[in-house]
Structure 1
Amino acid sequence: MHDVLAGQLVLELGTMVTAPLAGMMLSDMGARVIKVELPETGDPFRAHGGGRYSPPFVAYNRGKESVQLDLRSPEGLANLKRLLERADVVLENFRPGVMEKMGLDNATLRALNPRLVRASITGFGQDGPYKDRPSYDSVPLALSGLSSLILDPEDPRMSGPTIADNITGMYAVQGILGALLRRTRDGQGGHVEVNMLEAAISFMPDAFAQYSRAGIVSGPETRVRISQAYTLRAKDGLLVTVHFSSVQKFWEGLLKVINRADLASDERFATPAARTRNYPELRQILMDVFATRNRDEWVTALAAEGVPGAPVNRVDEVADDPQVRHMGTFVRTEHPTMGEVIGIKSPIRLNGQRRDNPPPPPVLNADAEAIAAEFGFQN
């Protein structure tokens, strides 16, 4: 995948997560990505945790060039237009109307560069009653219903990674690739629009199908009951996940692992439907059994019987997992001034290949001189 988009120039006007993630994914596929940053501060994510090279910024910005432009000034806007004239994609996550206020509406962009693909990421779309509202990850999660599948209604505390941010960036990449493919047929760019609310809704089609087809309003346990997925605490206090779905051989293998053949004839658990109905009772039985041996013993025993299961690795354990080490998922690069940077390679391979050594994220304005010379910037 490291050269799929070779020769494509992407201008990233975005900040924080959604647009930077999309820009990074395009870079992983070989595109040249120029990150256009704010005067003085650059992307606000740079300063999270202090300095201008924070972990959140590093997470979403490998493989890019950086240049600062003041888009509120005539000179900065003129320089941006020089970039736009030669770009293939411009990627932005401004609020609706900001590009238009800068004089960069779709008609103007088409006049500058008919082949340009504009990708706009918003919280709630370009119009409608919520269009001007600010949006961060947890807001579309709540509106979409996705939070209702995650939060414990008795103790509703937010937890976990950014979901709406990340999946919105991924949907944006899908739209951009589609627009670039269409351009090969008609030579025209276009306007890709993605919003966080619809991205979050699209992330859980099963919940809406359950409601529309069966009248089931899903909650935090609906999917895991049907899937027969459990997280259990072992004797050493560490966690194990088991997921045997409705596949009979996995259920039979689990009974061998826990030495409870008697459960096969227990009418509460005799069929997948019965196990779904009696999920709390089966969970309690499994919790009691798994408390008798250490985590690694259970993981080994599950693997020996071919039962889907795994240790619940902490973040600091993942890189040492044998399969993760085998795949070479993590990459170490050396930044000339910021030292070693550890990143995650793209999970997408083409013919067994992917970008193995992407450049580390840029320091602020690192490429200004070279970009100015190449594109003939005004001073």
Structure 2
Amino acid sequence: MTRVLAGIRVIEFGRFITGPYAAMLLADLGADVVKVERAGSGDPFRSFEKGLYGPQFQAFNRNKRSIALDFELEQDQAAFRDLIAGADVLIQNSRPGAADRFGIGPEQARTLNPRLVHCEITGFGRDGPYARRPAYDTVAQAVSGFLSMFVSPEEPRIVGPAVSDSVTGLYAALGIMGALMERERTGQGRLVEISMLEATMHFAVEQFQGYFVNGKVPSPRDRGRVSQSLAFRCADGRTIALHLSSPPKFWNGLLQAIGRPDLAQDPRFVQRMDRVRNHDQLEDVLRPIFASQPRAHWLPLLEAADVPHAPVLGADEVVADPQVRHLGIDRTLVHPTEGEVRTLRTPIVYDGNRDGIVMTPPPVLDEHGAEIRRELAAAAPAPAMATSESQ
């Protein structure tokens, strides 16, 4: 059993993705994560698709315990304060100031627990002209410039997964781990602030650095051109992807695999920077070649020539892929009332022990409420005994 964060108690007061994902990453490493939810409805992601145990909720909430609190009740407010007082980490994602209404603003939380590592996730930061705006993944991707690197201006359409949400959760978990390490030396907690805007910008640091140096605004075509990445539809309608990068051997291997050594002498493609400048023309030359044969024809040729390549797989193909099956990434958990829950294990493996990754299914709402309340009662100081003075 690999639980490197065993003994760390995390209180997650999160919704949707950023906060819950950060908490789940810590839970995957062995932290005891208590998910605090509103009584009745819980995390809105529970009912994003159906019921209170939808796939969106399942994705970001394994390895946690759930307690539902009614914040209109003083006893539940007190329970929340007790949870924070005994925690190592508090994670919440909301607009600035929203946490204060629940008694978990930075100053309030620090008063309750000076050792607390308090992670506050917002859309745009605690202050500034956008601080009070609502923020979801697409908003953060758009304002950070990230979306402009993927969406065609001629036919704008939102594609792909929730990148800003997930990236922000990753940075939040990293910030928390750093603060926990520092606390080992100082004994003091920290306020860890993460905004979706800053996290998504930093995730695209290479593109921003290129803009700072060259003054060229990144576009959706830039990465493929500079990295010499290509994708082609084959004769059977399936797609294949290539990433030639900069080593000349990969370009030469490609020419060997497709039977076109003559392209090495084409003045448009002789040097790597020639191929970068003439990327569109290179695609035009290669496209009909790959379209002439099914994907199964090209895969062994590219592998034999040691060309970085892969079939573009759908999720159904990925989980059946032999390498994925070998690594045991796809796991099936069993919940006592909800049945089987299929999920992906953490990609972090310690000392080669994949079997030591212990996972529990996402909780139903308030599944552990009674258990957690008993723990709080047991930890509460005993009332002072009345005594009479001896005469």
Instruction: Quote the Cα distance in structure 2 between the aligned partners of 1:33 and 1:176.
Output: 14
Q: Does structure 2 retain, via aligned residues, the 8 Å contact 1:331–1:356? A: no
Alignment match, 1:258: 258
- Normalising by structure 2, report the TM-score: 0.94
Alignment match, 2:159: 159
Instruction: Quote the Cα distance in structure 2 between the aligned partners of 1:2 and 1:155.
Output: 47
Q: Does structure 1 retain, via aligned residues, the 8 Å contact 2:103–2:109? A: no
Q: Does structure 2 retain, via aligned residues, the 8 Å contact 1:110–1:116? A: yes
CA offset digits 1:32-61 (Å, max 9, x no partner): 001000110001111122111100001000
Measure how far apart 1:14 and its partner are.
Answer: 0.2
Q: Which runs of 5+ in 1 are unaligned?
A: none
Alignment match, 2:230: 230
Is 1:368–2:369 an aligned residue pair?
yes
Q: Which runs of 5+ in 2 are unaligned?
A: 381-391
**Overall identity of the aligned pairs, in %:** 45
Alignment match, 1:180: 180
Is 1:319–2:332 an aligned residue pair?
no
Instruction: Quote the Cα distance in structure 1 between the aligned partners of 2:104 and 2:75.
Output: 15
Equivalent position amino acid for 1:47 in 2: S
Give the superposed CA RMSD. Answer: 1.4
The runs of at least 4 consecutive aligned structure 1 residues that moved more than 3 Å come to none
Equivalent position amino acid for 1:213 in 2: V
Measure how far apart 1:203 and its partner are.
Answer: 0.8
Is 1:132–2:132 an aligned residue pair?
yes
Residue 324 of structure 1 aligns to a residue whose secondary structure is: helix
TM-aligned CA distance change 1:227 to 1:62, over 3 Å: same
Instruction: Quote the Cα distance in structure 1 between the aligned partners of 2:371 and 2:163.
Output: 36
- Normalising by structure 1, report the TM-score: 0.97
Residue 376 of structure 1 aligns to a residue whose secondary structure is: helix
Q: Does structure 1 retain, via aligned residues, the 8 Å contact 2:2–2:358? A: no
Is 1:114–2:114 an aligned residue pair?
yes
Residue 78 of structure 1 aligns to a residue whose secondary structure is: helix
CA offset digits 1:248-279 (Å, max 9, x no partner): 00000000111011100000000111001111
Alignment match, 1:340: 340
Instruction: Quote the Cα distance in structure 1 between the aligned partners of 2:53 and 2:103.
Output: 32
Q: Does structure 2 retain, via aligned residues, the 8 Å contact 1:145–1:201? A: yes
Number of residue pairs aligned between Structure 1 and Structure 2: 378
Is 1:194–2:190 an aligned residue pair?
no
Equivalent position amino acid for 2:372 in 1: I
Instruction: Quote the Cα distance in structure 2 between the aligned partners of 1:128 and 1:73.
Output: 34
Measure how far apart 1:359 and its partner are.
Answer: 0.2
Alignment match, 1:39: 39
Instruction: Quote the Cα distance in structure 1 between the aligned partners of 2:102 and 2:360.
Output: 32
Measure how far apart 1:2 and its partner are.
Answer: 3.2
Instruction: Quote the Cα distance in structure 2 between the aligned partners of 1:60 and 1:297.
Output: 39
Instruction: Quote the Cα distance in structure 1 between the aligned partners of 2:101 and 2:49.
Output: 32
Q: Does structure 2 retain, via aligned residues, the 8 Å contact 1:18–1:168? A: yes
